[in-house]
Every structure is written in structure tokens, then in C-alpha cells.
Chain A
Amino acid sequence: MNGNCRGPEHISRRALLKGALATTAGVAVANWGGLFSSQTIAAEAQKRGKRCILLWMNGGASQIDTFDMKPGRPTGGPFREIKTKVPGYHMCEYLPRMAVIADRLGIIRSMRTQSPDHPEGIYQMHTCYKQSERMPHPELGAMIAKYLGQADADLPSFVRMGPTGNTGSGYLGPRHEPFSIDRNGKLPSFTSPYLLPAREERRNELLLAMEAEAKQASAADVYESHRVAKERAWRLLRAKSLFDTTKEWPSHEPLYGASEFGRGCFLARKLVEAGVPFVEVGQDNYDSHADNFVCHKANMQVLDPAWSGLLIDLERTGQLEDTLVVWMGEVGRTPTINNRAGRDHFIKGWTVVLAGGGIKGGVVYGSTDADGSDVAENPVSEGDLFATIYTTLGINPRVKHFVGTRPVWATPEGSQPVKELLA
């Protein structure tokens, strides 16, 4: 049985094919075309088997204190810069392990974005659309789950832990909803059966026998979608032990650092290895309106081993080539240092870092002016960033879906992938 061709996917395509034959109206043809291409894209992307891990810097990390340093300028702050593996490129002294593997990174220093506040920024940096449009846009994770997930997998296709996005799967539907867990692997509510396994199995067998009989009476796809989801819930619990990192963590802790975020990064690596196409791990909290430097120093001491550990671990297990690791938050931070030694929200020129998954390493793309007060060259929008991510994962950034009759694309019109970063 072709596991990719069950349930809701099948309904939409079939229903629309029928629609296209029955009428010559433009809408139906457009529908059909959109879905047809999205199916092909899914098949293509799955063949390439790419994965994505998003390291979410909740609150918005400072670019000037990490990857876009301004030594000697009034905006520069107290941190010193250190040499990296990329000749001529320097980064913050509190990212020493990352500096050693800077030749794996594709660094975008010229993000110019639209939403300066947290809720809107978190929304837009997870969907690449503005929240005020009030369209049910899906998160990055849901889009990747749709196009890179396997329908018959035991594990969810979109896992997130810690402080992350909270938009959900939007118009892609509950099939691609996020599955939220703790960074230590603790599963959410309703994943602990209240019955003993033998009794639960007996009860489930009776349900299956009933459903088998029902299937004879009606072949409707909605019933099948219900049954398939039921089986996914059972399979997930059978694969539950995978989320438990108790045994492996002690031997990995030196590499990832002794932190909850580090442990989440390790779990993310384990999950993508097991076939989960998208995992988001959040780190709190970069929102340093006061004491920016204390905040960033502490955060980087957690981030540096966790992130570098993840990249090294992915590389040594042969997965880095197929696993894109994205580092970003909802905003950057102002070059100006306020009177509480803080930096505020900033969207006119900030940094996002990509690595693996077909991203060219050692590339530093775009720049800001001398004080970091604006992008100096090659501005990159949310849509451009998402187009880059989708392209390197093998997903068409202009794949079209519908909300009712209204067409909607994975990235806004005019979004362009950053070619310089694509290997």
C-alpha cells in the first residue's frame, strides 16, 4: 500500500480532479494545477530526505554582540571579537566553539524585517507573512512537515520544544500540527495510557474489528482519515522511548554543554535521525532591554556548546549535508545602547545564520553600515529567508495552496532565495 496516498491528501486531489473535468471555470483549473504541483513537490522533496532544525532565539538575539560586531564604534559594546575559521571574519569572544566551525555557516547579516514586536515578530518569522493579514498561514515547521514528512511514519512530523512559535499548521490543517514536548524529552498531556498495555490492546482490537466492518459499509475518505490518525496516535506511543534521552545524555553532555537547551539540541538530532523532518528548539530569553551584555554573555555560554555540538554531531553522524540548521529569533537588537545598558528591538539590519542541508559554508552575506544602524548591502526579507530555506530543502517557495477560494503561496510574491548561500 502506498502510505503517501491515503486520507485527506487523496480526497482533495480527487475531488478537484473531478471538479476540473466537470467545469471549464478558471477557478477549478487553477485549483487543480496548484494541488497537482504541490503533490509532485512533496514526492520530490521526500526523495531527497532533507530535514530542518530551527534554533529559536526567543526574544531576539543581538547581532552586534554575536555575528556582526562593530569594534571601536559607539554601538560596539564591551565584547571583544575573535578570529574564526573564515579568513577575515570575526565573531564574538563568547562563541569560541562556533568560531572554529564558522566555515560551515552561511551568515546573513542583512535581515530587514517588518514586525518589531514580539507576538507579530514571532508570527512573521515563523510564517514569513504579516499577522495582521489574518490569514491562517502555517508555520515553517508545518510546511516542512507537509512536504518532507512521511505519511506512515511512527513519529510526528513537526516537533517543538522550549519557547518557540505558536501559530500552528494553519491552512495546511491538523494533519501537520506541531507536537510540543519538553527539552528533556517529557511528552505532553495525554501521552500516558491509563490502562495496562494488555487491556489497552484488547480494547483496541475490538475497535479495529468494528472499523473493519464499518469499512465495508462506507468507503468515505473522512472515516479513513479518522482511522489513520487513531493509528498514528497508537504508533507514536509505541515509539515513545525515542524521546527518552536519559541513557545517552551523559555521554553527549560534554559536547552539547550541561543545559536544558543543549539537551534539547541533542534530542533534536536524535529525532531527525529517526526521520522527523522538522524540529524546533527554543532558547530563552534574549529580550535584553536592560543589562544586554550580562544577558547575552550568559545565553551564549549555553548556546555556543549546544549549537556547535549539534553541528559537529550531525556532521560526524553523516547528517549535516541533509539537515539544515537555522538560527534566528523574531527581531535583532538596536545598535544604540539604552540607559539601562540594554538594547531594544531592531528590524533594520540584523542577523540570521544557516548551516548544513545544502547551505554553502563560510559565506557571509550582506552587511550593515559602520554603526549597524541599517543594512548597507543586500537586504534580505522574511520571504527571501524562507525562500532560501525552502529551496535548499527542495520545496518550491512558490507552492500554492488555497484558503477557501483564495490562493496563497508558501512565500509572498517577489521573494527570492539568496543564491550566494545555496551550495
Chain B
Amino acid sequence: MRTPALLPAPVSKLSPLLAGRAFFIACIAQSLVATVALAGNPGAESPQSLRQLIDTQVRAGWDRENLKGEAQADDATFLRRVYLDLVGTIPTHDEARQFLEDKDAGKRATLVERLLADSRFAQQQATLWDLLLFSRNPPNSEATRKRDGFRQWLTAKFSANVPVDRWVRELLLAEEDGSELFYVQFQNKPEDLTEAFSRIFLGTQLQCARCHDHPNADLEQKDFYGMAGFFVRLVTLPQATEGTGDKQTKRYRIGEKATGEVLFAGNMKELKPGNKGEPVKPKFLGGDPLDEPPPPKDFKEPEVKTGTKSLPKPAFSRKEKLAEWTTAATNPFFARAVVNRTWSQFMGRGIVHPVDNLGAGNQPTLPALLDALAQEFVAHQFDLKWLIREIVNSQTYQLGSSGTARDALPKHFERARIRPLSAEEIMAALQVACGHDPAEKGSDSATPEYFVRYFGTPMNGHGDFQGSLSEHLFLNNSSNVRAFLRRKNGNLADTVLNSQEPWEQRVDRMFLSVLTRLPTGSEREKFVTYLQRDPGPGADPDAVIEEALWVLVNLSEFRFNH
């Protein structure tokens, strides 16, 4: 059992009338107090506690809302879900069969451990964070379109399970090889960088305050420009280009000048031409102005010219101060933003939703749980793997997703969410399902670019999935998809055709391979009938198998993680 001291007073006790700046400050003060309490009580943590706390808190939420939770997902559903979430693909036929036949009561937790140790776990987390840091269409695309170096850097962090505060600090310092590309996308655009930084690392929407004081009164324009002051001195310095042709990569370094200020000119709407504004000193969001010594006497800023490859390190680095403040255990935003985002990665929506809007107007559904997640995460030295382990081992994560409910992202986590597979996951899942070697590239005429084009952005601005015409034209008629389905030495179609087993068993194999579950009685019957019928003029048995596999990969069930 947990000690009650670990649970802070629920934020919801604060009057909603306190919304605005007062609320904002109250939150900060509260998390500081809570962090102190936690540090004074180290014995309270045990490996089991967080997952239990999650279930207790979520269930309490259902009681308040008078909701009934969905039953636990069956083994097959859990298996496919956790594979996709942790390693970005589905299990093979053999892995699925083994898991489903395993009688061990603790097999789910054992599977989670195995997947957390899988090298694909690091790749999957890196893919997700890379997409978050760059989006599908990053700015400065010439420099950021190809970012193998950045991905390698990031994957190495997840492989070594480097604490999140540490790798984010390194990202913000941008001194390690590969890490500089995050800043490069915002070359000469400190305001754009401020927006992205605040959204990603502070879970806060500052962009409104770029042009006007925020209508909800908790943010002023000066908050925005105060943060932009930390970035205004960064300079992107192109280095020598490496390699030639397709392999060519441009390298960059991030330099920092010792002078330069953000200019603030008031409300954009009332802005008069020619008014460039007044310099604004850097100020931490919700905190103090930066205590900055004046530059040394007679200081002269070195000139940055075309071809400048590096700058001397400034005597006082704003970048370092920002990195330190952001990732400090006492930062009121960072840990909350990371745990909320990680939660939404597995539960479909954040405890605060949308995940990048932790502002005062946007109340968490389970405030005490969010606080506890953030505190425990800090207490566990920002160990992301630990956090993910706790979440996916919770009963909440393992709920079923079917039933009569229609929305895909249940607000009180009373069912599992239903999320579309990413473009990368669809391609990886097709490879595994159809028995193709993921390492074997180019041989089966499936190009990742096509998958990204047709599956890469399936949401509208609200985050709702929308099926698209082009996605289905691609699925229906493209050789990119067909390449996986057609008979090829050693692939699924080939195995099924070579098998001497009765058709029922071969259909079972097809279902387990593609959908990670066995067919229902009527499904089995339909497929057996389909596969046994006369293929008709101009078609051979190979074609019939291919068609049946096409049906499986085109099901809505395959399109989503459910």
C-alpha cells in the first residue's frame, strides 16, 4: 500500500475561479512542495506502486462519472497492442502462437519485459520523438529532410535508457554530434523555436502570446518574448558537406553569440510600421528574470560571416541556463509535460488534453494522478522505460476497446483507445504479417516514401482520424502493397500454399500472422470457402491466396491499434 503522504492535495480543490495567473502560480508552488515531500519520503516507492495507483485513480474517476469500465482485453488483443506500442510492429505468427498457448499467469508482464529489452523499443521511441520534434513537414526542409544522424543520436539515448532530463539537456545544448538538428529547423527564427520548445518540453501553448496577451489572462506577450530571449543568440553554422550524391549530408553546428536581444513592440494588431520595439530581457516562464552579468568591458562580438564554422563559447551562456532550468527536478512544467505526453502515447489522450496545453483553462481529468506520475517520474530520475513499464502493466492500459461506444479516445480511460497505425507501423506490420524480412530493402518494391505519403497524416486539426481516398486507392491498386501479398519464396503466401495442412489450419495461420488472433468460426468458414473455390479462368491458386491476404490487411481491424 502507498503512504497517503505521497498523494498531494488534488488540484481540483482549487476554485475554478482562480483560473489565470493565480492558478498558474498555485500549480507551480504546489509541485515544489510535493517534490520536497517526496524527497523526504524515499521509502514510499516500490516497483508495484505506480501501476496500482494508476488503476485506483482511474477507477475513482469512473465512479465520479458514473461509468463502467470495459472488461480486460483478451490475450490476442493485448499482444498486438503492446507490440505496436512498444516495438512499432506486430508479432510474427510463431510469437503470437507461443504467447497465446502460454499458460503462465504472469505472461503479460514477462512479455512487456522482453519488449522493453528489444532493440526495436529504442527505435520506436526515437521514431515517435523524432516526429514530435520535427513533424512530417519540418521547417528548413533542405537541412532537416534527411536526418539519419539525428535519429541515430536519439536512438542511442533510448537504447541506453538515458534519463529524459539528461538527453533533453543535451538536445538543448546541441553540442553532441547529431543533436544540433532540432535547432537547425528554426534557423534565424527564435520566435518559432520558442513556440515549438514550449509546446514540446513545457506542454504549454505560447504562440497566442506571440501577438497578443493571452485571452485567458495567464500569459502575457512578455512571457513569450522573455522565453524567446534564450534563443535569440543562437546561430546555425553550416559545416562542410559530407559524402556525395544520395549519401550527401549537410552538417551543422550551433553557435551562441554573447550579445543580442529580442525586441518587443506590443500588441501586433496595434503595431505601427517602423516600430521595431524595445529589447526584452530573458525570463523563465512563470519564474524569475534571468540573472545575467553584463558582458565584459570592451567586449566585441565576433562577426558571423558566410563560412564561419564556429563561435567562441560566450562567457555567459543563456542556452546553458535554459537547459538547466528546463530539466531541473523543480521545473514546474517539464516532468508534467513528459509524463502527460507519455500517458497519451499509450492511452490515446493526455490526462490534460490536448497534451501540449497544460495551461490553466484546460483541467486535467485526473489531477491527482497527473501530479503523482510527475513526482514519481522525478523520483525515478526521469526513467522513461520505468514509466512506460508501469503504464503498460496497469489494468487500465489492458482494457478492451470494443463495444457500442463510438469515440476512439475515451475521456475517462474507461476503454482502451483506438489509434491509427503510423505510416512506419503499417509498413513494418505488413512486413511481419506477410513474412518479409524487414532488413531486406528495395527487393519487394515497397518504398517507405509512399507509405508516408498515403498514411503519414491521417488526422484533421482536431486530431480525429479521417479515412482518405488516396490511402485506399494505394491499398487497393498499388504494387507497393501487392509486393507483400504475392507469393514469394518463403513468405506467408508461399508457406500457406506449400502447406499440407487442412485449409482450416491454414486460415488460422493467415489470421494469426496478419491480425494476431484466430478467426471466429464464421470467419474461418468464409475464408476456407473462398480459398477452396475454383480460382476461375486466368487465375491460379497463388492469386486466390493473395486476394485473401489483401482482405485481411485492408480490414479496419488491421488499420488501427485497438
Contacts and interface: CB of A to CB of B under 8 A. Distances in A.
Interface of A: 7-8, 10-12, 14-15, 18-19, 22-27, 134, 136, 156, 170-175, 177, 179, 188-196, 198-199, 202-203, 206-207, 209-211, 213-214, 217-230, 232-234, 236, 401-406, 408
Given A192-B477, A223-B557, 9 more contacts: A11-B464, A172-B460, A179-B469, A191-B477, A194-B477, A210-B523, A211-B555, A232-B469, A404-B463
A27 B407 contact: no
23 contacts: A12-B462, A15-B464, A18-B407, A26-B361, A136-B461, A171-B462, A175-B466, A177-B469, A177-B470, A193-B477, A199-B539, A213-B520, A213-B522, A214-B556, A218-B403, A222-B418, A229-B466, A232-B472, A404-B354, A404-B461, A405-B205, A406-B208, A408-B461
Interface string B521-540: 01100110010000010110
Interface stretch (B256-264, B319-327, B422-430, B542-550): B542-550
Given A207-B555, A210-B526, A222-B465, A11 B407 contact: yes
Nearest to B420: A222
B407 A14 contact: yes
Contacts of B556: 211, 214, 222-224, 226-227
B152 interface: no
B458 interface: yes
B464 A12 contact: yes
B543 A8 contact: no
A213 B522 CA distance: 9
Contacts of A170: 461
Interface string B458-485: 1111111111111111111111001000
Interface string B398-425: 0001111111110100000010100000
Most chain B CB within 10 A, of A12, A19, A405, is at: A405
B551 interface: yes
Given A12-B464, A194-B482, A405 B362 contact: yes
A402 B523 contact: no
Contact of A229 (B404, B408, B468): B468
Nearest to A206: B551
Interface in B80-131: none
A210 B551 contact: yes
B459 A173 contact: yes
A99 B192 CA distance: 48
A174 B461 contact: no
Given A203-B547, A214-B557, A225-B465, A174 B404 contact: no
B460 A171 contact: yes
B557 A156 contact: no
A380 B139 CA distance: 30
Most chain B CB within 10 A, of A24, A172, A223, is at: A223
Contacts of B363: 23, 25
A52 B110 CA distance: 59
B458 A174 contact: yes
B356 A198 contact: no
Contacts of A234: 476
B385 interface: no
Contacts of A191: 473, 477
Contact of B405 (A27, A209, A220, A402): A220
B457 interface: yes
Contacts of A408: 461
A210 B523 CA distance: 7
Contacts of A172: 460-461
Nearest to B529: A206
B393 interface: no
Contact of B139 (A134, A174, A219): A134
Most chain A CB within 10 A, of B408, B474, B475, B556, is at: B556
A236 B536 CA distance: 27
A188 B477 CA distance: 11
Nearest to B470: A177
Interface residues of B, number: 70
Most chain A CB within 10 A, of B363, B473, B475, is at: B473
A203 B463 contact: no
Given A218-B401, A227-B556, A175 B530 contact: no
A272 B482 CA distance: 34
B157 to A, nearest CB: 27
Nearest to B468: A174
Nearest to B478: A190
Nearest to B454: A190
A1 to B, nearest CB: 16
Most chain A CB within 10 A, of B468, B538, B550, B557, is at: B468
Given A8-B464, A179-B469, A218-B403, A196 B538 contact: yes
Nearest to A405: B357
Nearest to B402: A218
B559 interface: yes
A405 B555 CA distance: 32
Nearest to B457: A174
A88 to B, nearest CB: 37
Q: Which 9 A-B pairs have the closest CB atoms?
A: A173-B460, A229-B467, A171-B461, A174-B468, A233-B472, A223-B556, A403-B461, A175-B466, A226-B556
Contacts of B523: 210, 213
Contacts of A232: 467, 469, 472
A207 to B, nearest CB: 5
B554 interface: yes
Contact of A228 (B467, B475, B478): B467
A214 B362 contact: no
Contacts of A219: 403-406
Given A26-B216, A202-B547, A203-B551, A220 B408 contact: yes
B231 to A, nearest CB: 16
Contacts of B418: 218, 220, 222-223
Contacts of B139: 134
B357 A221 contact: no
A207 B474 CA distance: 16
A45 B354 CA distance: 31
Contact of A199 (B411, B476, B536): B536
Most chain A CB within 10 A, of B139, B205, B465, B478, is at: B465
B503 interface: no
Nearest to B465: A222
Most chain B CB within 10 A, of A196, A199, A220, is at: A220
B153 interface: no
Contacts of A171: 460-462
Nearest to B533: A202
B429 to A, nearest CB: 15
B207 interface: yes
Interface string B472-507: 111111110010000000000000000000000000
A174 B466 contact: yes
B554 A229 contact: no
A196 B555 CA distance: 21
B284 interface: no
